Amino acid sequence: MLKYLIKQSKSQLLGASLASIVHGICSVLLLAQISSALTSDSDREAMALTFAATALCVMLSYIVAAILFEQLGQRAHAELRSFIAQKVIAADYRQLELLGAARVQSALSEHCSRVAEFFVSFPVILTNAVVVAGCLVYMAFLSWQVFLLALLIVGLGSLGYHLAHLRAIRHLDIAAQEQDHLFACFRSLTDGAKELRLNRDKRNTFYDDVLQQSIEKVRKERTFGMSVFVASAGWGNFLIYAFIGMVLFLLVGDVPDRTLIMTGYALVFVYMVGPLEALLLNIPRANLAQVSANRIEEITNAMTSAESQTRSVELPSLQAIELRGVLHRYYHEQKDEMFTLGPIDLQFRPGEITFLVGGNGSGKTTLAKLLVGLYPPEEGTVKLNGVAVGDANRDHYRQFFSTIFSDFHLFDRLLEAGPGNTLDQKGNELLAKLHLQNKVKVQNGAFTTLTLSQGQRKRLALVVAYLENRPFLVFDEWAADQDPVFKEIFYRELLPELRAAGKAVLVISHDDRYFHLADRLLRMENGRLTVDPQQPAHTKTEVSVPSLLAVSSIS
């Protein structure tokens, strides 16, 4: 993942890196000039001019490097989020269900931020590495014995840091994995707010035994991992000071100008401590970025798809959809076993209302997901107008459906194509027909509010489904949260309108008092499908109010 980001910004990264290297070199030159000014009586005016020019170069190179790397960090953050979002949009729906929303949210938020921080910490690492290397070179210029001792100290420090790195990175990995679970807890904190407030014991257990434990695990693992890095940095600093003591009191003997020599060495050593400490403290941040990058890569690699994304083309008329020997297996939580749905043989035609009924967990929603193309069948074939649906055309096939599942999501904007003013007008007319005109309006292609009851939100979803104007509509327990008045409107007015407009409709329902209104009644039990014959209901209901279909121009 880091290689991908670096490749995307190669020229800008190269320029920022060169600016950081120049900054480090100029910092070392500035140190050499300070040391020379303290130990030499050369032309002070020339030294002052050189010092001023070098200091100006240090400032300018720092500003250029910092700005470029900040741009790189923000660009990396944006590209990562776009990359993950594109993978989510293109991924198979079943894979997203198995992956879980919490891991995706964790990747989009914290892991992306940590990878972006790499580009902010990288100039600090690069600049200070140049400063430390320059100080060592300056030492070699002053004394090769001191340089060899410095190499020995740096080698010992690097070995200790490497061993600490191996230990710390394991704990940071554990923290990154627990972070995904923590995001799921955060989601439960808001999604389950009603349940937590209504049950004190549940609230306390959730906070003490679930949320707090997850927070503590992330804290402990990260604290331990970063503490190991800090301890290794402290070890490095101790070696530096030990180095200073050995040079000042052992290597530098009773020689002429001993005070000036000791002053020069001490200045170099003390100056090097700051960059070395910054280097040792920023390397863990780069390691955290690597951990997060690996996590993002692991999550995005799990979001694969063999399907081809189709172009926007006009849909042909719907003639028939057939399921032949369709079979699907999945883990059934209630029964704690693998559940087999099918084999299913079924056909849908325009102008036909089909009711799908059955007990909870019988496989009704799973069948609907197979029908609309969210799940590919493990066995059997789905055909659209006689053409088999596969990876090459499944995305095109899904465009025939408008759905309202029980766990539907409402976007605040009407994302359907069309002129904004026309969309606003049609949307508001539909809202009025559904008695929502005093609760919400459509302005500039967006709903003014989504803070409504579940039943009202389902009516908003119905508005969206009407505006999409697709040949096949699927309603999964749409009327379950509606009051009796809107149940009557839905079953006795809206469904006949859709039939009259030539739409194919599948309704998953438990409202047995309306079963007789269906053209066909399908019953699902333990993954098996049976068909109950029903009398056509075309003449049973007269639409007594202005048609929603006429309002939305669907017909």
Domains and CATH numbers, the chain: 2-301 (1.20.1560.10), 326-552 (3.40.50.300)
Average pLDDT over residues 307-336: 79
What is residue 478's three-state secondary structure? helix
CA dist., res. 494 & res. 489, Å (int): 6
Helix axes 144-191, 112-142, angle to 10 degrees: 170
> Closest by alpha carbon to 365, among 38, 97, 112, 555?
97
pLDDT of 554 reads 42
Phi, psi of 544 (to 5 degrees): -100, 0
> Phi and psi for 312 in degrees, rounded to 5?
-75, 105
What is the residue type of 23?
A: H
What is the rounded average pLDDT of the residues 131-137? 79
The answer to whether residue 254 scores a pLDDT higher than 70 is no
CA dist., res. 177 & res. 106, Å (int): 10
- pLDDT(506) > 90: yes
**52: number of Cβ within 10 Å:** 10
Q: Is 434 helix (H, G, I), strand (E, B) or coil?
A: coil
Q: What is the CA radius of gyration of the chain?
A: 34
Mean pLDDT, range 70-96, rounded to an integer? 82
Token duo for residue 341: 């749905």
Report the interhelical angle of 258-301 vs 144-191 (nearest 10°): 30
CA atoms within 13 A on the CB side of 262: 15
The answer, as to whether pTM is greater than 0.75, is: no
* CB-CB contact of 474 with 404 (8 Å): yes
Q: Which amino acid is at 225?
A: G
> Helices 144-191 & 212-246, crossing angle to 10 degrees?
170
SS3 content of the chain, % helix, strand, coil (to 5): 65, 10, 25
pLDDT digits (tens, 9 = 90+) for 341-379: 878 899 999 999 999 998 888 888 889 999 999 888 889
Structure tokens at 236: 């490095």
Give the separation between CA 337 and CA 343, rounded to whole angstroms. 18
The pLDDT value given to residue 253: 58
The residue that leads in pLDDT, 500 or 136, is: 500
C-alpha 481/C-alpha 509 separation (Å) is: 12
Tokens read off for 19: 């600016």
Q: What's residue 474's pLDDT?
A: 94
Q: Phi, psi (5° rounding) for residue 272?
A: -75, -20
> How far is CA 150 from each of CA 64, 133, 379, rounded to the nearest angstrom?
32, 11, 69
Mean pLDDT of the chain: 79
pLDDT of res. 540: 41
> How many Å apart are CA 114 and CA 50, to the nearest integer?
40
Give me the pLDDT at residue 401, please: 92
Strand runs labelled E in 417-549 = 442-443, 446-447, 472-476, 504-508, 520-525, 528-532
Structure tokens at 111: 């892991």
Assess whether pLDDT exceeds 80 at residue 551: no
| CA distances (Å), origin 510, targets 53, 482, 507, 518, 523 | 83, 13, 10, 13, 11
31-73 pLDDT, tens digit per residue, is 778 777 776 666 778 888 888 898 898 888 888 888 887 787 7
Q: Which residues contact 394 (CB under 8 A, 6 or more apart)?
A: 307, 373, 376
User: φ and ψ at 309, to 5 degrees?
Assistant: -80, 125
pLDDT tens-digit series, residues 461-470: 888 888 888 8
DSSP letter assigned to residue 505: E
CA dihedral 189, 192, 193, 196 (to 10 degrees): -100
User: What integer pLDDT is reported at residue 549 of this predicted model?
Assistant: 56
* Bigger pLDDT: 422 vs 292: 292
